[in-house]
Structure 1
């Protein structure tokens, strides 16, 4: 009986001990989980901030760096367009075999440094058209070279001097037919017949980069006709006396130009020139060139160009020309 009581007492003590250990373990696990949920404590160790000691470094002289500034800007473009059409002899819709081509080269350079500015622009154009059973005809022919030197006077005004040359490459004809229906051509012009050289000084107003107007209060123009026999087929002879090849005029001149992108991939370029001879103020020469160019992609452009001209030394009425072309154009730098 005593042994049974001792065994029962031992069993009770053992169960109490197990229950106490399990409770302690649960409390320990709860404490560990609580510690894991807490953010890591900040480092309580002292941190020494670095001390910066700036040191003065002497740079070399500007001349020794061999730096250079390019004050020149250039733009160059080359253009070519070709049109061809052919028809069979029994083509019911009618038509004539034809071949046409045209080319254009333009170059512009601009030098600006401080109050000084120099601009030079070259434009070369030539085109030809040949229809079956007809004589060939020109569609474009121009040599244009303009140079200007300017000194800035104020924000928008400059004092300028300019030199301008203009002529053509090839002979120009008028076409008629004789009694047999054959074409006859009459010579009207050729290279340096006419040729124009214009010198001008005055003031230029340029409020924005894409527009300017020049007022040439002192302008001289020389007209050249190197073919002294041209007056026989062209009686006006471009204002030069028959048998002579040179004429000088003093005049007042106004030149206005705009070159602006009016929309995405659409450019408007226009130039207006007024030339008023001091001896013939009642007869003023006017010329307006307008070109609208649409860019299809990097290499293809569509352009619509028009010219309106009044010069009584060439014709008694207003002259006009228009051309629409689609062709390849390469510009550089790209």
Structure 2
């Protein structure tokens, strides 16, 4: 037994010495050739997207997308045109900007969407057919790979005055101003939990969201539906409202190489009257015809009893110039 033990120990010592010498020889050879002992760039083909994706680590990012667009439409008829018709011209412009920045567990997202357009029919003057201001800024703090705590501020309004056009008994065209900038406007602050299973979709849950409805022009109330003044008390400019729950679902994805689908749904349930639920859906599909031309179909669906007892729908189809950078 002693003989076997002595032989085993001598064998191990010889192997250890051999491995040590071999290792030092290998390191010396690599050093002599001017290479690191382990050059992974030589062992792994990082130009291969699959290998690169496996080795990719999460890091700080900064990303933005900006869009400038315009569309134009026109039609005219000579006095001799027997088929009937009204000459018209229409122009619309848009500017959108989306900025996202991530640093560690913290991220910041700013989203600005603006649209304005008008149409002019012969004998009727100019009338706006698009008008929207949307700004959303949000800070996130990750708690897991798919969930984060957030603080959010949102503002929505329009640029110019809006009018209700109708005919009186004498068939004389009249118009009543029913809106303008900051009349109405909606300013909302919220904190809550975000669920983001994919880069193109997130769902926000915000109990206790705080909203201010603003009607800065006190003279508008006589023209608003049912003289309800968008829920703001007559003689006041701001109505304060606390939510039992606010839910926001946001989707923005290129569903094909040439087509983008975007929607934002907002549900707001008041703490005073939880059964009174305000809903708003903004959706658009944009298809690129070439590098600078696109077709855009958009729709806004609103149900808000402070505005109207009916469901409101605004829809537009535009073909025009769009530049992204």
Q: For the superposition of Structure 1 and Structure 2, which TM-score range results when normalised by the shorter chain?
A: 0.7 to 0.9
Would the alpha carbon gap of residues 300 and 54 (structure 1) be closer, same or farther in structure 2, given more than 3 Å must change?
same
- In 2, the alpha carbon distance for the partners of 1:292 and 1:51 equals 58
Post-superposition CA distance 1:129-184 (Å, at most 9, x none)? 11011132211111110000000011211100100111110001111113342210
- RMSD (CA atoms): 1.7
The counterpart of 1:98, out of the listed 69, 88, 94, is 88
Residue 241 (structure 2) pairs with residue 249 (structure 1): yes
Residue 147 (structure 2) pairs with residue 154 (structure 1): no
Residue number in structure 2 paired with 1:276:
269
Across the two proteins, how many residue pairs are aligned to each other? 272
Farther off after superposition, 131-140 or 318-327: 131-140
TM normalised by structure 1 equals: 0.79
Residue number in structure 1 paired with 2:318:
325
Residue number in structure 2 paired with 1:34:
none
The counterpart of 1:309, out of the listed 290, 295, 302, is 302
Cα deviation for residue 127 of structure 1 reads 0.7
Contact 1:301/1:329 (CA < 8 Å) preserved in 2? yes
Residue number in structure 2 paired with 1:135:
125
Residue 179 (structure 2) pairs with residue 200 (structure 1): no
- In 1, the alpha carbon distance for the partners of 2:237 and 2:156 equals 16
Residue 45 (structure 2) pairs with residue 53 (structure 1): no
**How do 1:255-270 residues align onto structure 2 when only pairs under 5 Å count?**
255-270=248-263
Cα deviation for residue 51 of structure 1 reads 10
Cα deviation for residue 230 of structure 1 reads 1.3
- In 2, the alpha carbon distance for the partners of 1:56 and 1:294 equals 52
- In 2, the alpha carbon distance for the partners of 1:250 and 1:145 equals 20
Contact 1:86/1:98 (CA < 8 Å) preserved in 2? yes
**How do 1:167-182 residues align onto structure 2 when only pairs under 5 Å count?**
167-182=157-172
Contact 1:109/1:120 (CA < 8 Å) preserved in 2? yes
Residue number in structure 2 paired with 1:29:
none
Contact 2:60/2:102 (CA < 8 Å) preserved in 1? no
Looking at CA atoms only, which structure, 1 or 2, has the larger radius of gyration? 1
Residue number in structure 1 paired with 2:39:
none
Q: Secondary structure at the match of 1:229?
A: helix
- In 1, the alpha carbon distance for the partners of 2:300 and 2:82 equals 36
Contact 1:135/1:183 (CA < 8 Å) preserved in 2? no
Q: Can you give the 5+ residue segments of structure 2 that lack an aligned partner in the other structure?
A: 1-28, 37-58
Farther off after superposition, 259-268 or 167-176: 259-268
Post-superposition CA distance 1:7-65 (Å, at most 9, x none)? xxxxxxxxxxxxxxxxxxxxxxxxxxxxxxxxxxxxxxxxxxx99725689xxxxxxxx
Q: Secondary structure at the match of 2:221?
A: helix
- In 1, the alpha carbon distance for the partners of 2:166 and 2:35 equals 87
Residue number in structure 2 paired with 1:188:
178
Cα deviation for residue 307 of structure 1 reads 1.1
Q: Secondary structure at the match of 2:85?
A: coil
Q: Secondary structure at the match of 2:295?
A: strand
Would the alpha carbon gap of residues 51 and 229 (structure 1) be closer, same or farther in structure 2, given more than 3 Å must change?
closer
Would the alpha carbon gap of residues 70 and 116 (structure 1) be closer, same or farther in structure 2, given more than 3 Å must change?
closer
Residue number in structure 2 paired with 1:32:
none
Cα deviation for residue 285 of structure 1 reads 0.3
Would the alpha carbon gap of residues 174 and 54 (structure 1) be closer, same or farther in structure 2, given more than 3 Å must change?
same
Post-superposition CA distance 1:283-323 (Å, at most 9, x none)? 10000111011110000000111111000111111001111
- In 2, the alpha carbon distance for the partners of 1:97 and 1:89 equals 10
Residue number in structure 1 paired with 2:47:
none
